[in-house]
Every structure is written in structure tokens, then in C-alpha cells.
Chains A and B, each alone.
Chain A
């Protein structure tokens, strides 16, 4: 079945450590996105990518980094510079960035800083 796979589902990190969240899609989509969701809130865009080897900052990119070396993969690294990283992270993809395309989401990774 086609879809988006995020791993791990739960992740614990010590303060000062970098962690990488995985996102893989087999939908052959060009566009991929990373969002952050805090309790009771909507989604906020961290980074997005329209095509391989290209990505753009979203609303809250500080303390995060991404890469897009393959069409199907868009990993997110949460660096030690992110002051409040505990959150629910969601990866999504769509066939393009055009407004009439639907986005498909993974099941999310819940990151907790201990």
C-alpha cells in the first residue's frame, strides 16, 4: 500500500543531543513537508521541499535541519539549538505544491526531551 512512514513513533532525547526523525513515502510525490504540533494547537510548518536537493524554511525553522537527497526521503534533524523540542512531529507529502493537491500525512513521531 502506498503511504508515508514515519519512524520512530516515540523518541526520547537528552538535552543537548541532536536527533533525526525519518520520513519515507512511496507515493512518488514531489513535495514533502515537516510540521510541528503542540498540544491543543494546529500544525506549524518547519520545512518543505518541492523537489530533490531543494528545500525551503517554513514558519519555525530555527533549530531544525533537513535534507532531500532522494525523492522518497525527507529526514528532519532536531538540533540542540531548538529550545523547546518536545512536540508531535508530522511529515506529509503531496504530488506538487499547487493549491488543488491533497496532502498525505504520516502517523507522526512524538519527541520528548528528558
Chain B
């Protein structure tokens, strides 16, 4: 199964954009790239997902490299409520396992 690599932690200032990177060099052509975030002692929350093209929604944007071996989650204007652990995971129609790594802990400084 393809796996992802993320930095353990990142810091950003409030009201500034945040770019969270994810490497997935062994991604297959049918893998979707999903992002979730998790607050302490809560269940993960879906953020965004994409296959090949960049995606935007009300929470964030997802930029996918042309070779699909990496992606970046973009929070356009971070707030203190965005402080969480962000997980980048891969999923296709046969990969029910949704392999989760330890994610990136995002710290927002006021």
C-alpha cells in the first residue's frame, strides 16, 4: 500500500496562509489524496480530497503536483481554531485500510 510522509510539526502565525506538505512517491494512478484534521480527544474531520486537479472548498485548497508524488494543503488564512493534527492519506477503491501516519501537528501563534 502506498504511504505518505509529513513533517511532525509546523508553526504559523494567525491570519497568515499555511502550506502543509505531503509526500506520496509510491502513489498509484487510482489513489485519491485525502486530508483530515483532528483536535485533541475528538474524531478526525474531513477537510478535502482530490485525484489529479487542484481542489478548493470552503475550508481549504489542495494543490497536487503534476506527477502526483506530492501535495500541499493550503489554509488561506489560519485562525487559532485551525490548530490541530493534519493527516494526509491515500485511498482507492480497493484500499479500504486508509493507512494513517502520525500526521502534522499545526501550531498557530496569535
Instruction: Pick the contact of A44: B51, B96, B100 (CB < 8 A).
Output: B100
Query: Does A45 lie within 8 Å of B96, measured CB to CB?
Result: yes
> Is B17's beta carbon under 8 Å from chain A?
no
Interface flags, B80-110, vs A, CB<8A=1, else 0: 0000000100011101111111110000000
**Among B34, B41, B97, B99, which residue has its beta carbon within 8 angstroms of that of A102?**
B34
A42 adjacent to B103 (CB under 8 Å): yes
Q: Are A56 and B96 in contact (CB under 8 A)?
A: yes
Task: Judge whether B42 and A107 touch: CB under 8 Å.
Answer: yes
What are the residues of chain A within 8 A of B103 when measuring CB–CB? 42
Given contacts A42-B100, A42-B103, A43-B100, contact A99 B42 (CB under 8 A): no
Q: What is the count of residue pairs linking A and B with beta-carbon distances less than 8 angstroms?
A: 60
- Nearest residue, chain A, Cβ from B50: A100
Within the assembled complex, what's the spacing in Å between the Cα atoms of A97 and B98? 10
A63 located at the interface, meaning its Cβ lies under 8 Å from any Cβ of chain B in the complex: no
CB distance from B53 to the nearest CB of A (A): 13
**Chain B at the A interface: SS class:** loop
Q: A residues engaging B (CB < 8 A)?
A: 4, 6, 33, 35, 40-45, 48, 56, 58-59, 88, 90, 92, 97-100, 102-108, 110
CA distance A79 to B92 in the complex (A): 31
B97 touches A92 (CB 8 A): no
Can you name the residue of chain B whose Cβ is closest to the Cβ of A100?
B32
* Closest B residue to A91 using CB positions: B43
Contact B92 A99 (CB under 8 A): yes
Please measure, in the bound complex, the distance between the C-alpha atom of A79 and the C-alpha atom of B64, giving whole angstroms: 43
In the bound complex, residues from chain A placing their C-beta under 8 Å from that of B34 are 102
Nearest chain A CB to B46's CB is how many angstroms away? 4
